[in-house]
Structure 1
Amino acid sequence: MVRQGAFQVLFALQSNLDADPDTVCQQIAVDEFDLEIVPEYMRTLVQGVLIHQSEIDALLAEHLSSKWSLDRLSKTDLLILRLATYEIKFESETPDKVALNEALELAKAFSDDKSRRFINGVLSNLL
């Protein structure tokens, strides 16, 4: 639920660059999950991806096959990869395999099997 919420917040922020991340977090927490308080880890994920996005994108670019660039990825796949990469590289308390599995669950919910396999390959290369 927390990662799904973070994904939805990042997706909304990418669609509306002027939106306030905290406001969007609150909206997603209330509207999607019936929560009164935004889970702290959801905020951590959103802020972490936003703060480290250039570093994350550089890491991802290194681990994409030569046929791919970040510009060619769907917005959904890129956001899932960014979230997982943030957890793998910047959140020491999250085991890498958990971050990978959670990314695959997000891909299952918001993408398709082909994307799920692609995400698995990129993240496996990163690990």
Structure 2
Amino acid sequence: MKRREARERALQALFQMELNEMTAEQAITNVMDEEEDDYVKKLVFGVSEHKQELDQKIEAHLENWKLDRLNKVDLSILRVGAFEMLYLEDVPDRVSLNESIEIAKVYSDEKAGKFINGVLANIAQND
């Protein structure tokens, strides 16, 4: 599985966890076909484990917004991107940023790409 698809699957799992009371394992099972993917697991478990710190970083870089006002898709995209940038040394910040923007274009509205870019670019520069 390519990393883009793994990121999309992780987004889907995290979104399900945000809306429903389910474990990371249940959400991963829901979004995966037959195959397992270690990168999906790394993202979902990593975001789950560091959710509080990620949310603090994201909220610190929101301008005129509160975390609880963000739509759940954008919040999940931000969490995945921030997790990659802050915790995965083998993924360049620019790659995480660009992938997050592209995924936002598919799963969110037309304004989401610029919004995601602004928040994650600030995290990359300041953290």
Matches within 5 A, 1:88-99: 88-99=85-96
Question: Deviation of residue 20 (structure 1)?
Answer: 2.7
Pairing 1:72–2:69 present = yes
Q: Do residues 24 (structure 1) and 27 (structure 2) align?
A: yes
Q: Name the Cα RMSD after superposition.
A: 1.0
| CA displacement at 1:29 relative to structure 2 | 1.2
Matched AA of 2:122: N
Provide Cα deviations, 1:75-126, integer angstroms capped at 9, x if missing partner: 1111100110000000111110110011011101101221111111111111
Contact kept, 8 Å, 1:26 with 1:37, in 2: the verdict is: no
Q: Specify the code of the residue in structure 1 equivalent to 2:12.
A: Q
Q: Structure 1 runs of 4+ off > 2 angstroms?
A: none
Which residue pairs with 1:33 in the alignment? none
Residue 38 of structure 1 aligns with an amino acid whose one-letter code is E
Q: What TM-score do the two structures reach when normalised by structure 2?
A: 0.90
Q: 2:9 aligns with which of 5, 10, 30?
A: 5
- Whole-angstrom distance in 1 between the partners of 2:7 and 2:52: 20
Aligned to 1:41: 39
Gaps of at least 5 residues in structure 1 are 31-35
Are 2:67 and 1:86 equivalent residues in the alignment?
no
| Structure 2 residue ranges without an equivalent (≥5) | none
Q: Which amino acid aligns with 2:31?
A: I
Using the size of structure 1 for normalisation, the TM-score is 0.90
